Amino acid sequence: MSILANLLKKTETNQAPAEIPPGVLQAVGSAGGSASRGRRLLLIGGIAAAAVCVGGGLGWYLDSRPLHRQPLSAPPPPARQAVAAPPLPAQRPVAPSAPAVRQVVERPPQPPTHPPVRPARAVAAPVRHSRPAGRTAPASSAAPPSHTPAPKDRTAIDAHLFAARNAEARRDYLTALTQYQQALEADPYNYRIMNNAADMELRLGMYRQALTLTERALTLKPEYVSALVNRGVAQGNLGQGGAAVKSFSRAAALDPANRSALYNLALAQERASALDDAAGSYRRLAEGGDPRGYLGQGRLYERQGARDKALRVYRDLLALPDVGQQARDEARGRIRALEQE
C-alpha cells in the first residue's frame, strides 16, 4: 500500500512519471479488476433480488385480486354418441331329426290350398229375355218368365260388358264386377252375365254372394257347366265339401273334356280324403295331357308311401313335349326329394 500511496502523491504534486516496476503494475491491475468485478456482481445480485421481490409482490397481488373476467370458453364437450343395443342373436335352424324326404313320406303333402281354378268363361251374349218395367230381378228359387221382351238398350249393355272385360284384363275385379252388375240390371235374365259377375265375386272372396248368383244362373240354365263349376268353387270355400263334389261331378259328366271341371273335381275329392276317386279323376286329367293330372297322381302316391310310383309319374310328366316351366320345376323338385330318401 505504501507504493500505491507514493504513486498517487507524485501524481498530485505534478512530478514527472517515473518507471513503474512491473510487479507494482501487475498488482495494481489485479486489484482494480477485482474491484470492478465485485461491483458488477453486486449490481447483478441487486437486480435479481429486485426482480424476485417484484415478481413475488405481483403474484401476491394477482392472487388476492378477485377476477371479474369471463373465463375462456372451454371447448364444447364431445357429442354423446348413442350406444346401439347389441343385436339379438340370430336364431339358428334346428336340425331335423330325420331327413326332409322322410317327412314327406311320414307327413304326406296336402292338396293345394289355393282356390280351385275357375273355368274359362264364355263371353256374355244377349239373351232374348228382359225384365218388364217395374219388376225386380228374380230370386234364386224363382223360375224364369216364359215370355219376356228383349232388352231395349242393347248399346248400353254392350258398353258395360266391354268396360267389364277391360277391367278384368287389368285385374281390376271390383270395377269389372260393377260393370257386370250394371249390365245385369239392364238384362236381368242373362245367365252368362250372372256367371261372369259370380266369377268376379269369387276372385274378391265374396263366396256367399257368388253362390247365390250361380244358383240364379242355374235356375235359368240348369246344365250350364261354367256356372256349375263356379258354384262348386263357392261351396268348397264355404266349407260345403260334399256339395262341391256334386257340383263338379255334374259339370264333368255334362262335359267330360272340360279340364277345369275335372281338375276341380279331383281337388275336391282329394280334400274330402276320397283318394281312390281323386286318383281316377287325376288319371283322366293326365290322359288328356294336362300336367296337373300327373302332379296330382304323384302327390297321391307320396301320401300312400308309394315312392317308386310317384317317381315314375313325375318322370312321365317331364317326358311330355309341351309342359310349362312351373310344372317342370315342381316335378324336378319332387324327384330330387324322393331320390334323397
Look at residue 169 and tell me if it is in a domain: yes
Look at residue 196 and tell me if it is in a domain: yes
State the Cα–Cα distance between residues 165 and 146, nearest whole angstrom: 30
pLDDT at 89: 31
Look at residue 158 and tell me if it is in a domain: yes
Alpha helices per DSSP H over the chain: 2-12, 22-64, 100-106, 154-169, 173-186, 191-203, 207-220, 225-237, 241-254, 259-271, 275-287, 291-304, 307-318, 325-339
Span 258-305, pLDDT tens digits: 999 999 999 999 999 999 999 999 999 999 999 999 999 999 999 999
Look at residue 101 and tell me if it is in a domain: no
Asked whether 186 and 156 are in contact (CB, 8 A), the reply is: yes
- Rounded to 10 degrees, the C-alpha dihedral 314/319/321/324 comes to 30
pLDDT at 203: 96
What range does the domain containing 220 cover? 154-239
pLDDT at 341: 77
Could you tell me the CATH number of the domain that includes residue 232? 1.25.40.10
Look at residue 20 and tell me if it is in a domain: no
Span 94-131, pLDDT tens digits: 333 333 323 333 334 444 444 444 544 543 433 333 33
Span 51-96, pLDDT tens digits: 666 666 655 555 554 444 333 334 444 443 333 333 323 333 333 3
Look at residue 330 and tell me if it is in a domain: no
Could you give the number of structural domains in the chain?
1
Look at residue 177 and tell me if it is in a domain: yes
- Model confidence, pTM: 0.58
Sequence-distant (≥ 6) Cβ neighbours of residue 145 within 8 angstroms: 129, 138, 189
Look at residue 53 and tell me if it is in a domain: no
